[in-house]
């Protein structure tokens, strides 16, 4: 009897131990699966920005191009026709439209712009314009190009046309006239819209905009300013600092504009002038700001080397090249 009781207890113990092992293994697998699902969900969520746009940035960039500003000759290209989100580089078209309006005497630099409630509500990079506050067009252009103020962009657009959509139509009209066939502007400042389509362009298209801006000497006055005060009549003026870190740190850089929002990544359109030559470089969609800036510097440096190597080294060389062309 004792022998049977002992065998029963041993059997029962083994069965319980076996069941515990199975339960523990199942629980561990379930936990691992749950963790993996959470990680996958988290990763999937990081691919979409708050604006609902799919993140497209990568390192070193989505695409890039550099050209000779004098001839338009391509000095460097790497996926230059990729479509991306220009973000605040949109403000370069805003600048072009405003400068052309000034030259046509439709508005002036000293026009007084009264800030509306709509402008005061604009978020993102800004100079914190307040409703009924008054600023000159000149001051607002500096705010547009130095700290990339979204509210200044809206204020300028409304001052010129009185209607945001009308100004956007002018931006798209100029883009088509410049041959920017892969560009569509949806905003006056490059902010990702809560609804609707974002601004879209390509590195190559942006170089066309840059070339047009260079026809207006005033453009570089604004884009080359590293630091400037805003609201100088205030006890505590706002210090505006240029978002283009190549200005003041890379020899000869005097423009143009950077762009960033989460889905777009970091982009830049930069121009450098050295020894009478000028190069324009555009980079779209870097995942890291420092990578974008270092890539821009490298591309600009290599492009100048390419440009210099293709130039005649003497008068006799120039004459030989001319003679060969005539033949």
3-state secondary structure of 77: strand
Asked whether the predicted pLDDT for residue 109 surpasses 60, the reply is: yes
pLDDT band at 10 (very low <50, low <70, confident <90, very high): low
For 136, the token pair is 């000159």
Task: Please give the Cα distance from 32 to 103 (Å, whole number).
Answer: 67
Please say if the pLDDT value at position 326 is more than 50. Answer: no
**Residue 229 · residue 241 · CB < 8 Å:** no
The arithmetic mean of pLDDT across residues 191-204, rounded, is 90
Listed in sequence order, the DSSP H helices in 47-163 are: 91-103, 117-120, 137-145, 150-161
pLDDT value at 136 more than 60: yes
Q: Please, are residues 131 and 115 in contact by the beta-carbon 8 Å criterion?
A: yes
Report the C-alpha gap between 235 and 231 in whole angstroms.
9
Its pTM stands at 0.80
What is the set of active-site residues?
A: 88, 91, 148
d(Cα 120, Cα 192) in Å, to the nearest integer? 18
Let me know the angle formed at the C-alpha of 157 by 154 and 158, rounded to the nearest 5 degrees: 85
Give residue 220's Cα distance to chain centre. 19
Q: How far is CA 181 from CA 173, 214, 246, 269, 298, in A?
A: 11, 20, 29, 18, 28
């Amino acid at each position: 009897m004792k022998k049977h009781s002992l065998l029963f207890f041993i059997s029962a113990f083994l069965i319980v131990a076996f069941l515990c092992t199975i339960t523990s293994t199942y629980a561990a697998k379930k936990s691992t699966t749950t963790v993996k699902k959470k990680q996958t969900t988290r990763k999937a969520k990081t691919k979409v920005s708050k604006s609902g746009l799919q993140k497209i940035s990568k390192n070193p960039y989505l695409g890039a191009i550099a050209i000779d500003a004098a001839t338009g000759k391509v000095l460097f290209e790497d996926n230059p026709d990729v479509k991306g989100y220009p973000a605040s580089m949109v403000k370069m078209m805003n600048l072009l439209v405003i400068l052309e309006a000034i030259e046509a005497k439709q508005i002036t630099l000293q026009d007084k712009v009264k800030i509306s409630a709509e402008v005061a509500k604009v978020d993102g990079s800004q100079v914190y314009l307040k409703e009924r506050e008054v600023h000159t067009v000149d001051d607002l252009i500096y705010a547009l190009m130095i700290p990339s103020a979204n509210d200044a962009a809206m204020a300028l657009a409304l001052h010129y046309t009185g209607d945001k959509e009308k100004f956007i139509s002018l931006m798209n009209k100029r883009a088509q006239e410049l041959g920017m066939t892969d560009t569509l502007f949806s905003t006056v400042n490059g902010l990702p819209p809560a609804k609707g389509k974002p601004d879209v362009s390509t590195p190559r298209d942006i170089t066309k905009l840059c070339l047009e801006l260079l026809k207006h000497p005033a453009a570089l006055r604004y884009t080359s300013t590293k630091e400037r005060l805003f609201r100088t009549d205030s006890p505590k003026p706002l210090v505006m600092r240029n978002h283009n870190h190549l200005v003041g740190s890379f020899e000869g850089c005097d423009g143009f504009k950077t762009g960033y929002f989460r889905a777009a990544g970091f982009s830049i359109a930069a121009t450098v002038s050295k020894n009478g030559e000028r190069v324009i470089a555009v980079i779209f969609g870097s995942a890291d700001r420092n990578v974008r800036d270092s890539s821009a510097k490298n591309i600009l440096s290599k492009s100048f080397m390419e440009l210099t190597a293709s130039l005649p080294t003497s008068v006799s060389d120039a004459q030989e090249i001319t003679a060969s062309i005539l033949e």
